[in-house]
Amino acid sequence: MVLHGHLPFVRHPEHEDFLEEDWLYEAITETYVPLILMFENLTNDNIDFRLTMTLSPTLTSMLSDSLLQERYLKHLNKLIELSYKEIERTTWQGQFHNLALMYRDQFCKTRDCFERYHRNLVNAFKKFQDMGKLEVITCGATHGYFPLMEACKDSVRAQVRVAVSHYESVFGRPPRGIWLPECGYYPGHDEILREAGIRYFFTDSHGLLHGTPRPKYGVFAPVYCKGSGVACFSRDLESSKQVWSSVEGYPGDYNYREFYRDIGFDLEYDYIKPYIHPDGIRINTGIKYYRITGTTNHKEPYMPEWARQRAAEHAGNFMFNRQKQVEYLYNFMQKKPIIVSPYDAELFGHWWYEGPQWLEFLIRKIACDQSDIRMITPSEYLVENPRNQVINPSMSSWGWKGYSEMWLQGSNDWIYRHLHAASERMTELVKSYPDVNGLAKRALNQALRELLLAQSSDWAFILGTGTHTSYAERRTKDHLLRFNRLYEDVKAGAIDEGWLSGVEYKDNIFPGIDYKAHQ
């Protein structure tokens, strides 16, 4: 089981209320804290578990950032205030009243948890990693999409190196594995992973199934990449489908909570105004009162107990299917198969409200109710099964249509001209200034920060979806413009320290960055 936790770097000290920062706040309340609470419950009950989880360097940076922590607490306090008002408002509506109470309890628990880890949730993930239950892996420094950086490989190297050194500074040991952003693999990039000391990565199913030569065990055993020897694990789609699929998947069950009915949109404007965007834009508050109910717009109130019951049944069903799958595979593989089930972490809790409950049921059932399957991390698997086939995996991603089209289409292909030019310029800077100090070094480090931030695949993704594109376009341009100015200023020997300080303050990610990572 692999959970991929990532959000792009959305930190805007220049504005008090920045809509996009809500991405982080929602994910903390709905996904990261519920997962941490689950880890705590399991540990308290002595239930053994193994999970692999990406915490992308941008996400880790935001979780550790004091400004964002402070703002999150403010956000959460307002949410708690709203839940109290809701308790009162729904006095004569029993079902909603109970839900309002549930939300108040949940938000208060969230705040306790947040304070318990001194407002830095990375501490929690580190704790469970140190206990051997959780294997935290890294990701590209800013989630740059590697296959479209093949022509400027120095940037792939920088994405990996900066991620690895950032991981070390946070977790006190090097990362063993990496989640390639968007599962995007291009042949040869495994060599860059090897140089950085990374021992395994993941691809989508076709990355392995279309590899050369044929993988003997399909996706049910990892392989080593030819040349680099880095291990490659591949996604099993049967288990994926049960959670991801909007048609057959569990999250569509009619008893589960409806994502789109939020009081931020449903309630009277003046009442809800203090809890939506200050400009009056209605947004999700996180308080939702309805269940999916059916395919029409008619929605019935959410019944937490019914949903919980379904989550338990779905966990049982998932486990049963894995048992059958493993039994069948073992018969003709004559070897213990590994089933790799990766999901976006934010799918659990944020999108699928009952996801964390489901996962907890699943873990408890696997630990207590059977002995056919067990949970394992990739590192443990490799220790137990060191002999694996050597092949060349195929270029692939887990994005739309399986390759690069999501990030390379009419609406976003214009960015690569600029990203590649900036990457080339960065390499030129590193060559021209191999050893500088003081202001020039600060400028070069900031140049690399700006380049990495511009490379986040999230911007190309949003541009590709065609909705809410202005923010993504602005971010791409802003970081590139700042990079270009730094490039020119460094070359002209005319760095404006005041301006540089301003940019350093705004884009403060990776304080320990070394510009020489880009070569």
* Minimum gap (Å) between residue 23 Cβ and other proteins: 4
Q: Is 236 in the site for other proteins (CB under 8 A)?
A: yes
The answer to whether the CB of 177 falls within 8 A of the CB of 71 is no
Of positions 18, 23, 306, 433, contacts other proteins by CB under 8 A: 23
Q: Is 406 in the site for other proteins (CB under 8 A)?
A: yes
What one-letter code names the amino acid at 398?
Answer: W
C-alpha torsion 246→247→248→249, nearest 10: 20
How many residues bind other proteins (CB under 8 A)? The answer is 110
Q: Is 485 in the site for other proteins (CB under 8 A)?
A: yes
- Complete edge-to-edge strand list for the sheet that includes strand 223-225: 200-203, 231-234, 223-225, 390-391
DSSP-assigned beta bridge partners for residue 343: 3
Pick between residue 100 and residue 160 the one whose CB is nearest to other proteins: 100
| Burial of 22 (C-beta count, 10 Å sphere; 0-12/13-18/19+) | middle
98 to 137, contacts with other proteins by CB under 8 A? none
The answer to whether the CB of 228 falls within 8 A of the CB of 191 is yes
68 to 87, contacts with other proteins by CB under 8 A? 85
Residues 301-340 as x/- pattern, contact with other proteins by CB under 8 A: ------------------------x--xx--x--------
Tokens representing residue 91 in the block: 């006095």
Are β-strands 178-179 and 200-203 bridged in parallel, bridged antiparallel, or unpaired?
unpaired
Between CA 148 and CA 464 the distance in angstroms is 15
Stretch that binds other proteins, among 105-113, 165-173, 303-311, 401-409 (CB under 8 A): 401-409
Angle, helix 438-455 to helix 497-506, in steps of 10 degrees: 40
* Minimum gap (Å) between residue 283 Cβ and other proteins: 10
Of positions 193, 391, 447, 490, contacts other proteins by CB under 8 A: 391
Stretch that binds other proteins, among 74-82, 123-131, 437-445, 491-499 (CB under 8 A): 491-499
Q: Is 298 in the site for other proteins (CB under 8 A)?
A: no
248 to 277, contacts with other proteins by CB under 8 A? 259-260, 268, 271
Residue 19: how many CA atoms within 13 Å on its side-chain side?
13
Q: Is 229 in the site for other proteins (CB under 8 A)?
A: no
418 to 477, contacts with other proteins by CB under 8 A? 418, 420-421, 457-458, 461-462, 465, 467-468, 477
Stretch that binds other proteins, among 116-124, 378-386, 414-422, 427-435 (CB under 8 A): 414-422
Pick between residue 108 and residue 151 the one whose CB is nearest to other proteins: 151
What one-letter code names the amino acid at 40?
Answer: E
Of positions 219, 429, 490, 513, contacts other proteins by CB under 8 A: 219
Between CA 234 and CA 222 the distance in angstroms is 7
Cα–Cα separations (whole angstroms), residue 330 to 323, 325, 335: 11, 9, 6
DSSP-assigned beta bridge partners for residue 298: none
Instruction: Report the number of secondary-structure helices (H) and strands (E) in the chain.
Output: 20, 9
Stretch that binds other proteins, among 117-125, 134-142, 397-405, 433-441 (CB under 8 A): 397-405
Of positions 57, 144, 378, 402, contacts other proteins by CB under 8 A: 402
